[in-house]
Structure 1
Amino acid sequence: MRVHVPGLAPLLFCLTALFAAPAAASGSITDNVVETRLDNGLTVLVLEDRRAPVVSTQIWYRVGSADEYGGVTGISHMLEHMMFRGSEAFEPGEFSRVVSRLGGRENAFVGRDYTGYHQLLGSDHWETLLEMEAERMQHLRLTEEEFLPEREVVREERRQRVDDRPNARLREAFMAAAFHADPYGQPVIGWMSDIDEYSVDALQDWYDTWYTPDNAVVAVVGDVDAEAVVAAAERHFGDIPAGPGVERPARSEPPQTGERRITVQVPAELPYVMMGWKAPSLNSLEEPDDAYALLVLEGVLSSGEASRLARELERGREIAGSAAASYSPFTRRDGLFMLGGVPAADTDPGELEAALREQIERLREEPVGEDELERVQARVVASEVYGRDSVHAQASQLAMLETVGIGWQELGAFVERVRAVTAEDVRRVAQEYLVPETLTVGILDPLPLDERESEEPAAEYGGEL
């Protein structure tokens, strides 16, 4: 990991941030996307946006923690670190120094479904970045000398981001309880016992298997000529051979047949309540209606100060210091519809849990009012418009959708699908998916803090590093 970027991740890409609008002042982003697939399988997506002399270049690989298994959990994250530790053409750290000399910014991230690398820089230098990415796609240099200290960096990162953070420890235990067979139950950063056993040979195998052109998506958005980008991609990536074509095992989650509960007792300042119901992704649905109805349901509960959790639990009854809902259908596998919150002072976690359950039951029994529904839909559409200025966000959205298998074309249907959701749709999906049999509940039960420990902000629902 280079620098953690909450929300790009994305977590998950949340409802209000995931789908920023197209570069053009009108029309859909998908009207102007140029897609090319090279003979070796590399997907290239280009969107011209000439309003400013900047370009976002990104490459996403279809590999993340969901492709890992016991003994190598977190290895995608470890390899992401090593991608900056030298290749045949670049000494350790030189890739980043070149980006900096060109006046650009860079970052990288790992999620459950993907690993991504991205840069933002002036429009004179985008081809240099494509050439550099092509070089480290095929010529990464993995050595014990660079690996051993970098593994210590990852170990410390896990300690700081998980082991020393009570809410993160709750989330890790919660996901493992919610998913028994599905790899979404594994931590993106990996279990410490697996990190301890990484080897250069294991990293080399992972790199050789997954870092291939047919397993990658290149997205370039900004002040570029689409034909020139496609020609450059062919020039720099075209001779790289396709990979072995690994077939992913199904690893399907057995049906959940009853509520699951866990309690995590660690030193912490505040308790926390976490709840999650099994919920579909767009990849598993024959029609997208349920996914968008769940997105709107999320907005009803948690889309600003006027939404129900903030209005009724935080300000009204004053039993939550904070409360939020989270759902993303833009994933490779089925996930969770989640609720969580910090009980207010003198409020028992059980009281907040009961109040959150009441909110779900109300949605199951009563249709959302038309005014409320329209307000939520308008908020989602407005967020799409306000996001138009970011070439980085546009590239991320296109690449993410293509990488997880939904397809970048879904971006063009987003507003229409949100607006098509009815109050009855919201009630229907609440009745179908938010049922006791598929619920997992996690409670953080604080133990007394010692002098060395302090509380961190509430854990995010996203799953990226």
Structure 2
Amino acid sequence: MFTASCQSIKAEQKKKSESPKSEQADVAENKKVAEFKLDNGMKILVKEDHRSPIVTSQIWYRVGSSYEPAGLTGISHMLEHMMFKGTNKFPSGLARKIIAENGGRENAFTSRDHTVYYQDIEKSRLEICFELEADRMVNLTLDDKEFQKERLVVLEERRMRTEDNPNAKLYERFNAVAFLSNGYANPVIGWQHDIEGYTIDDLKQWYQDWYTPHNATLVVVGDVKAADVFQLAQKHFGPIKGRSVKQSKKSVEVQPLGRKDLQVKAKAQLPIIIAGYAVPSFSTAEDDLEPYALTVLAGVMDAGAGSRFTSRLVRGKELAAWTGVGYNSLARLDSQFSIWSSPAHGVDIEDLKAAINGEINDLQQTLISEEELNRVKAQVMASAIYELDSVSAQAREIGELETLGLGWEFVDEYYQRFKQVTAEQVQAVAQKYLVEDRLTFAQLIPEKGDAQQAVGDKK
């Protein structure tokens, strides 16, 4: 899936169409996606893909870790776990058994900006998914005894994924420093003391506040007919009473006033550095061309074997064991343009830092060639398109754009505008954003001792 999208889309062009039950509904269609909205506020998006007899069904709730107040970090993820503990109609474990017996699979994930539940299944079994999801949207059994057991599961998950992983521990602390005033400072899984402090009433309130049709989008992609999907959605989700969602003010990241540095000590074999620069996302950019240029800039630095960092720092000068560049423009809050690296054996980390700064200075002072620009564009585009070959990836793209408020309609426009990025625009964002005052620099300091899956180890 591509890592950039556009700012808010203008109001959709809609037309009246009669639903399968002869009810009037607002339906918007482009060549790929059909839209339907239930009376209770729930939106249904359907993309037909008839290449194979399968379908993916995804429920996207507009709530994630960036919505959480102090003291409740990670509660969206905790509730995601509890959503599999059943209802009176489908007790714990029964829903998963039903999906498996019908040849499907189900799972869920929580991010900073949304929580998603999904099933991949043979097309004729789609109604089973709707019945199960509609039931747990309103009838979830939140039992304190089950909660106490699941809390231990989440704490163990945090220990394995973060506490025992030096890369993850560094990234968690980096975010806590890089983001001063928005919800991205907190880990999706939550801080340990908050996880230990939840009550069952906290979970019940979070469920009540956010799990409502008005705050949900159903995305279906696969070998289906849109009209049939709408009819099934009306049957199972339509009777659910609509209610307004809790209002959450969007936190704004304060303007950076100077460089920030931190060190993290952990058991590891090699040091790691992260150089993160405060940048806008498509949701926050005043100039909506900048996220496109930042995406190309990330590709110039580290997209493929021919990229500058790989060809010059890893293979050429042999200063880096590895490099990575990340930029997430698909975010509802301000983002980070982050450069990751670890020095090659025997290389002083100061030499690696100087080499990275040299590459940044080169991009700020010299225009990239048309050949390099076109190569990077082609690589980024090809990667994005190949990722969308599966129905689940297509549904995820639609759901993410819609849930962030960017609009599913933007996909085609995005690719057109991305291809129009110029070398001058890439240089401009490098000059504007990759500067000392916007930098958060984090360094992992290896401690003696065995490291679990330390950098450079093979699994």
TM-score of the two chains, using structure 1 as the length reference: 0.90
SS of equivalent residue, structure 2 residue 197: coil
Letter in 1 for 2:265: Q
Match of 2:259 in 1: 259
Instruction: Classify the secondary structure of the residue corresponding to 1:375.
Output: helix
Q: What is the identity, as a one-letter code, of the residue corresponding to 2:348?
A: D
Q: 1:294 to 1:30 in 2, by over 3 A?
A: farther
In the other structure, the counterpart of 2:10 is: none
Pairwise mapping of residues 285-434 of structure 1 onto structure 2 (< 5 A)? 285-434=285-434
Which residue pairs with 2:452 in the alignment?
A: 454
Q: Deviations over 1:274-315 (max 9, x none)?
A: 011111111123553111111111111111101111111100
* Deviations 1:21-55 (CA, angstroms, capped at 9, x unpaired): xxxxxxxx952200112121111110011110000
Q: Larger RCO: Structure 1 or Structure 2 (Cα < 8 Å, ≥ 6 residues apart)? A: 1
User: Residue 156 of structure 2 aligns with which residue?
Assistant: 156
* SS state at 2:171 partner: helix
The 5-angstrom pairing of residues 98-109 of structure 1 reads 98-109=98-109
Deviation at 1:91, TM superposition (A): 1.0
What corresponds to 1:275 in structure 2?
275
Q: Structure 1 residues 43, 286: closer, same or farther in 2, change over 3 A?
A: farther
**What is the 5 A alignment of 1:95-174?**
95-174=95-174
- Structure 2 gap segments, 5+ residues each: 5-28
Assess if the C-alpha contact under 8 Å between 2:260 and 2:439 holds in 1: yes
Range moving further from structure 2, 32-41 or 440-449? 32-41
- Name the CA distance, whole Å, in 1 between partners of 2:439 and 2:74: 26
Q: Is the 8 A contact 1:14 1:326 kept in 2?
A: no
What is the CA-CA distance between 1:388 and the residue it aligns to? 4.6
CA contact (8 A) 2:3 2:329 kept: no
The alpha carbon displacement at 1:107 in A equals 1.7
Q: Counterpart of 1:290 in structure 2: which amino acid? A: E
Q: Give 1:455's aligned amino acid.
A: Q
Q: Please show how residues 219-258 of structure 1 align to structure 2 within 5 Å.
A: 219-258=219-258
Residue of structure 1 in register with 2:183 after alignment: 183
Equivalent-residue separation in structure 2 for 1:130 and 1:288 (angstroms): 37
Indicate conservation of the 8 Å contact 1:30/1:411, yes or no. no
Structure 1 residues 128-178: Cα deviation after superposition (integer angstroms, max 9, x where no partner): 101211111011000012111100000000011111111111111110110
Number of the residue aligned with 1:440: 440
Aligned to 2:20: none
SS across alignment from 1:364: helix
Q: List structure 1 runs of 4+ shifted beyond 3 angstroms.
A: 455-458
Q: How many residues align?
A: 432
Q: Which amino acid aligns with 1:374?
A: N
SS in 2 for 1:402: helix
- The separation in 2 between residues aligned to 1:158 and 1:389, in whole angstroms, is 32
Partner of 1:88: 88
- Cα shift readout 1:245-297 (whole Å, capped 9, x = no counterpart): 32212332221100000011122111101011111111123553111111111
> What is the rounded CA distance, in whole Å, between the counterparts of 1:41 and 1:287 in structure 2?
32
Q: Contact 2:64–2:113 (CA<8 Å) still a contact in 1?
A: yes
* Structure 2 counterpart of 1:279, one-letter code: V
Number of the residue aligned with 2:200: 200
1:169-199 residue CA offsets vs partner (Å, 9 max, x unmatched):
1111110110122110001110000000111
RMSD of aligned alpha carbons: 1.5
Determine helix, strand or coil for the equivalent of 2:447: coil
- The structural deviation recorded for 1:384 is 3.8
Structure 1: 5+ residue stretches without partners: 1-9, 16-28, 459-465
Query: Contact conserved, 2:64 with 2:76, CA < 8 A, in 1?
Result: yes
CA contact (8 A) 2:57 2:120 kept: yes
Counterpart secondary structure, 1:284: coil
- Report how far residue 14 of structure 1 moved: 4.6
**Residues 30, 350 of structure 1: alpha-carbon distance in 2 compared, 3 angstrom cutoff:** farther
Which protein shows a greater Rg?
2
Retained in 2: the 8 A contact 1:349–1:443?
Answer: no
C-alpha separation in 2, matches of 1:436 and 1:36: 48
Supply the AA of the counterpart residue of 1:249.
K
Give the Cα–Cα distance (whole angstroms) in 2 for the partners of residues 251 and 287 of structure 1: 20
Q: Which moved more, 1:92-101 or 1:344-353?
A: 344-353
